[in-house]
Amino acid sequence: MLKPTLRRACAALAAGTSLALALTACGGTTKKDVKDDNASAASAGKADPNAATKKGLTVGFLPKQVNNPYFTTADKGGEKAVTELGSTYKEVGPSSATDTAGQVSYVNTLTQQRVNAIAVSAQDPGALCTALKQAMSNGIKVVTYDSDTSPGCRNAFVSQASAEDLGRTEVQLLAQQIGYKGEIAVLSAAQTATNQNTWIGYMKDELKDPKYKDIKLVKIAYGNDDAQQSFQQTQGLLQEHPNLKGIISPTTVGIKAAAQYLSGSKYKGKVKLTGLGTPDDMRKYVKNGTVDAFELWDPAKLGDLAARTAVALASGQITGKEGETFKAGATTYTIGKDGVINLGKPTVFDAKNIDQFNF
pLDDT digit string, tens, across residues 318-348? 999 999 999 999 999 999 999 999 998 899 9
| Res. 88: pLDDT tops 80 | yes
Query: Does residue 2 fall inside a structural domain?
Result: no
Q: What is the pLDDT of residue 349?
A: 97
Answer yes or no: is 134 within a domain.
yes
Question: Which residues are CB-contacts of 135 (< 8 A; sequence separation ≥ 6)?
Answer: 107, 110, 111, 118, 142
Within a domain: 335: yes
Average pLDDT rounded to a whole number, residues 243-267: 98
Same domain, 271 and 305: no
Lay out the sheet containing 272-275: strands in order across: 215-222, 182-188, 244-249, 272-275
Length of the chain equals 359
On whether both 192 and 269 belong to a single domain, the answer is yes
242/173 same-domain check: yes
Residue 14 pLDDT exceeds 50: no
**Mean pLDDT confidence for 113-131:** 97
Domain assignment of residue 354, yes or no: no
In a domain, 208, yes or no: yes
Spatial distance between the Cα atoms of 152 and 132, rounded to a whole number of angstroms: 10
Q: Assess whether 291 and 232 both reside in one domain.
A: yes
Both 77 and 125 in a single domain? yes
Per the CB < 8 A criterion, the answer to whether 243 and 182 are in contact is yes
Residue 12 has pLDDT above 60, yes or no: no
Look at strands 141-145 and 156-159 and give their pairing. parallel
Q: How many domains does the chain have?
A: 2
Same domain, 47 and 146: yes
Q: Is the pLDDT of residue 141 over 70?
A: yes
Query: Has residue 121 got a pLDDT over 90?
Result: yes
What would the mean pLDDT of 342-356 be, rounded to a whole number?
A: 94
What would the mean pLDDT of 203-212 be, rounded to a whole number? 98
How many distinct helices (H) and strands (E) make up the chain? 11, 14
For residue 235, the model assigns a pLDDT of: 98
pLDDT of residue 41: 72
What is the pLDDT at residue 37? 62
- Asked whether the predicted pLDDT for residue 221 surpasses 50, the reply is yes
CA distance 116 to 155: 13
Name the pLDDT band for 40 (thresholds 50, 70, 90).
Answer: low
Domain boundary (296, 323, 354) is at 296
Residues 60 and 88 both lie in one domain: yes
What percent of the chain has a predicted confidence (pLDDT) above 70?
88
Please enumerate in sequence order all residues whose Cβ is within 8 A of that of 189, keeping only pairs 6 or more positions apart, or say none.
97, 196, 222, 223, 224, 225, 250, 251, 253, 254
pLDDT band at 39 (very low <50, low <70, confident <90, very high): low
Q: Name the least confident of 19-23, 124-128, 309-313.
A: 19-23
Same domain, 284 and 306: no
Q: How far apart are the first and last CA of the chain?
A: 6
* Number of C-beta neighbours around residue 46 at 10 A: 8
In terms of domains, do 242 and 336 share one? Answer: no
What's the mean per-residue pLDDT of the chain? 89
Q: Is residue 53 part of a domain?
A: yes
CATH of residue 129's domain is 3.40.50.2300
Q: Are residues 204 and 292 in the same domain?
A: yes
Percent of the chain with pLDDT over 90: 82
- Residue 32's closest CA among 107, 129, 122, 105? 129
Q: Which of 274, 296, 318 is the last residue of a domain?
A: 296
Residue 353 lies in a domain: no
Segments forming the whole domain that contains residue 195: 163-296
Q: Is residue 12 part of a domain?
A: no
Does 303 share its domain with 155? yes
Write down which residue in 296, 311, 328 finishes a domain.
296
Residues 28 and 120 in one domain: yes
